[in-house]
């Protein structure tokens, strides 16, 4: 069965510092991978997705993620954190050929401090 692991349920960074949120998946074939963001009291919004095209994927709000097959990872990064980035971030995986079967990680809450 597919699974997603997000290391670190809480991550705190200073404003202007690098943001790194980790995501590893388990799969024998390359899946489709997604990062979603959830702001307080809101639904989930897509940040970016990997669907077997370029391994470096750029998303909204300056975020990007790199698919590394050898490490089965899809870590999310942003060079410089902003206060508005404070939210919960979810990595999700969908296996190729499994329509609508989206498996989410447990989420990482990002705190940005002054």
Partner 1 sequence: EAQVTQNPRYLITVTGKKLTVTCSQNMNHEYMSWYRQDPGLGLRQIYYSMNVEVTDKGDVPEGYKVSRKEKRNFPLILESPSPNQTSLYFCASSTSGRSEQYFGPGTRLTVT
**Interface residues with partner 1 (CB under 8 A)?**
9, 32, 34, 36, 42-46, 49, 51, 90, 92, 94, 97-107
* Least distance from partner 1 to the Cβ atom of residue 81, Å: 22
Q: Kindly tell me which of 24 and 103 has the beta carbon lying closer to partner 1.
A: 103
Mapping DSSP to helix (H, G, I), strand (E, B) and coil, where does residue 8 land? coil
Are 37 and 21 in contact by the 8 Å Cβ rule? The answer is no
* DSSP type of residue 9: S
Q: Kindly tell me which of 15 and 51 has the beta carbon lying closer to partner 1.
A: 51
* Least distance from partner 1 to the Cβ atom of residue 21, Å: 14
Give the whole-angstrom CA distance, residue 5 versus residue 107.
Answer: 9
Give the whole-angstrom CA distance, residue 28 versus residue 33.
Answer: 14
Cβ atoms within 10 A of the Cβ of 15, count? 14
Q: Kindly tell me which of 10 and 82 has the beta carbon lying closer to partner 1.
A: 10
* Least distance from partner 1 to the Cβ atom of residue 12, Å: 18
């Amino acid at each position: 069965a597919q699974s997603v692991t997000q290391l670190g349920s809480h991550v705190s960074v200073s404003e202007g510092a690098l943001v790194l949120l980790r995501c590893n998946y388990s799969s024998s074939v390359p899946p489709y991978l997604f990062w979603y963001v959830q702001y307080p009291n809101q639904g989930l919004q897509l940040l970016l997705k990997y669907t077997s095209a370029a391994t470096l994927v750029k998303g909204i709000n300056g975020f990007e993620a790199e698919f590394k097959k050898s490490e089965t990872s899809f870590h999310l990064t942003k060079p410089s954190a902003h206060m508005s980035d404070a939210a919960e971030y979810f990595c999700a995986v969908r296996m190729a050929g499994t329509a609508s079967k989206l498996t989410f990680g447990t989420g990482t809450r990002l705190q940005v401090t002054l």
